[in-house]
Amino acid sequence: MPKTKDHYEVLGVPRTASQKEITAAFRKLARKHHPDLNSGDKQAEARFKEISQAHDVLSDAKKRSLYDEFGADWAAAQAGGVQPGAGRGGFRQQPGGGVQYRTVTPEEMEDLFGDAGGFGDIFGSMFGNSRGRSRPEPVDVEAPITVSLAEVFRGTSRTVELPGGKRVEVKVPAGVKEGTVLRVPGLRARVQIAPDPVFTREGKDLRVIVPVPLHVALRGGEVAAPTLKGGQVQFKVAPETQNGAKIRLRGLGLPDPKGGAPGDLYVEVKVQLPVPMDERTRKWAAEQPT
């Protein structure tokens, strides 16, 4: 039975080679012996298969560690549920079949095992390795921030004090939605929007109730509505406008936080009766059928 070639010899790398060195050696040899570049060359095809098998074992952290311990019998060890040895005392299979013991460094073990098996945690606790993952990741503080609808319209910021005294600034973009989580280092700030006494929000749109005198609702005319920009905007009321009618004023709603078109302002008409009524209006009301 032909002797299986040592995987390290196949790739031409030392047994202490890093993963980067193994990958680089494989790529170089694979380009040279790839069957597509050596059509009909059975020797190149066999060599490429040999190279691929060696890389398959040595590029996998667990397979490589078993191979280092058991040599050509690594697959049988894996099938039997054998786990790679751990600790400071390491051992490698020699080409002749004997076992050579030596002490390996945490860095060499991390090269061997990568992120599989949690060896970063072991060596972090044993050797004080800063690359160890034993220390828990910092958890962000969660805190609500409340803004007014006017601040939502123009955008604003809030300063939040974290536990321990650190202060961080949270920028609140214009048009932000209720419940949006804004993230800054150490903080997850959830946006709350205070109720507005004048405007009601509906997505990007705003709704406002505007009183309209009865004679304007009947004959038509101009009235004014407040805006979040500040000041008022004039708009026309058509003749015979009913109470509760909605008039759309384009582009006067909230900005789009994603940069799209702004929302609209919907004015709801609230017809005002002339109270107290003058004699003329009282006479006209009395003549109307009930």
pLDDT tens-place string over residues 134-172: 455 566 788 899 999 999 999 999 999 888 788 899 999
pLDDT attached to residue 104: 46
> What percentage of the chain reaches a pLDDT higher than 90?
43
Q: How far is CA 172 from CA 142, 146, 168, 181, in A?
A: 16, 10, 13, 10
Mean of per-residue pLDDT scores for the chain:
80
Nearest to 253, CA basis, from 147, 146, 174:
174
- Which tens digit of pLDDT belongs to each residue from 203-234? 999 999 999 998 899 999 999 999 998 889 99
Q: Which residues of 198-219 are buried (b: 16+ CB within 10 A; e: fewer)?
A: ebebeebbbbbebebeeebbee
pLDDT attached to residue 119: 43
Nearest to 215, CA basis, from 191, 187, 239:
239
pLDDT attached to residue 138: 62
Q: How far is CA 253 from CA 150, 231, 233, 234, 236, in A?
A: 11, 14, 13, 15, 18
Cα–Cα distance measured from residue 120 to residue 107, given in angstroms and rounded to the nearest whole number:
10
User: E strands, 112-251, where?
Assistant: 141-147, 156-161, 167-172, 181-184, 187-193, 200-202, 205-213, 221-226, 232-237, 246-249
Which range in 91-95, 110-114, 139-143, 235-239 is most confidently predicted, on average pLDDT?
235-239
Structural domains in the chain?
Answer: 7-127 (1.10.287.110), 141-193 (2.60.260.20), 200-272 (2.60.260.20)
pLDDT attached to residue 40: 80
- Record the pTM: 0.50
More confident residue, 32 or 275: 32
Cα–Cα distance measured from residue 130 to residue 281, given in angstroms and rounded to the nearest whole number:
88
Query: Could you tell me the sign of the dihedral formed by the alpha carbons of 74, 76, 79, 85, in that order?
Result: negative
Nearest to 263, CA basis, from 174, 172, 133, 145:
174
Structure tokens at 162: 């974290």
Lowest mean pLDDT across 81-85, 98-102, 217-221, 254-258: 98-102
Q: Region 111-132: what's the mean pLDDT?
A: 45
More confident residue, 115 or 213: 213
- Which tens digit of pLDDT belongs to each residue from 263-273? 999 999 999 88
pLDDT attached to residue 85: 67
pLDDT value at 28 more than 60: yes
